[in-house]
Amino acid sequence: MDVLLNGLMWLGIVLGGLLLLVLLVPVHVRAWGRVDGESADGRVRVRWGGGVVAFHASPAGLELRMLGLRVSRLRGGGSRPRRPKREREEHEEDGRRRGPRWAWRHRRALMRAMLRVLAALHPRGRVSGVIGLGDPGDMAALFALLSRAEERWRRLELDVACDWTEEVLDLEGTVRAFVWPVELAIVLLVVRLRPDVRRALRAHA
């Protein structure tokens, strides 16, 4: 019995040490992407421990590397065209409890939560293009979000024009992030426990 307890204790110590290591070692993220009204394309590279573990994602597939050696690879289907707007709306309304109405109703809580989480990523880079939601009210909320993001993160250049009347989506950018997992975990927990966020997550569309 003593041997079993000692084994479990050392197993807990090892697992706890590994978890602590994962939380305290920073993660470097680099993403490039382009999206327009018809298609989307992008690349994401994530490095942990200076490249000890690396993850690459692209339309060609997913790839995991450890110490520079490829461990796993999953092929993708390439860049796929976006579905027409009517089909996307029907798909969103089919069996989903949250959608545009829900997001608009809780826009203030979601905006604060989004800005707080993004701040923990320490983003820098540039995003340019034009975006329009087809509704002036929705665009006003999005414009406020973009303005606050540009004020808060001087290293993230947002050259995004807003179309206040038409539904437009044409964006391209390159973004880098320096993430401390322990900071991100704490921020996510704090955001999740906020009363306004909890009310939003419990609410129906």
pLDDT at 87: 52
DSSP 92-127: HHSS-S-SHHHHHHTHHHHHHHHHHHHHHT-EEEEE
**For the residues 172-200, what does the mean pLDDT come to?**
89
Between CA 32 and CA 27, with CA 186 as vertex, the angle to 5 degrees is 35
Q: Indicate the average pLDDT of the chain.
A: 80
| pLDDT confidence tier of residue 91, bands split at 50, 70 and 90 | very low
pLDDT at 32: 92
- Say what percent of the chain tops pLDDT 90: 8
Between 182 and 49, the more confident residue is: 182
**For the residues 85-104, what does the mean pLDDT come to?**
55
Pairwise CA distance, residues 55 & 42, whole Å? 14
Q: Would the pLDDT of 123 be above 60?
A: yes
Between 30 and 19, the more confident residue is: 30
Contacts of 12 (CB under 8 A, 6+ apart): none
Query: What is the crossing angle of helices 195-202 and 107-120, to 10°?
Result: 120
Q: How many helices (H) and strands (E) in the chain?
A: 7, 8
Beta sheet of 156-162, edge-to-edge order:
69-75, 61-66, 53-58, 40-48, 27-35, 167-179, 123-133, 156-162
**For the residues 13-26, what does the mean pLDDT come to?**
82
Question: Picking from 9-23, 32-46, 67-81, 122-136, which range would have the lowest pLDDT averaged per residue?
Answer: 67-81
pLDDT at 76: 64
Q: Would the pLDDT of 10 be above 60?
A: yes
| pLDDT confidence tier of residue 174, bands split at 50, 70 and 90 | very high
What is residue 145's three-state secondary structure? helix
Do 121 and 29 touch, CB atoms closer than 8 A? yes
Q: What is the pLDDT of residues 27-63, one digit of tens each?
A: 899 999 998 877 888 899 999 888 888 989 888 888 8
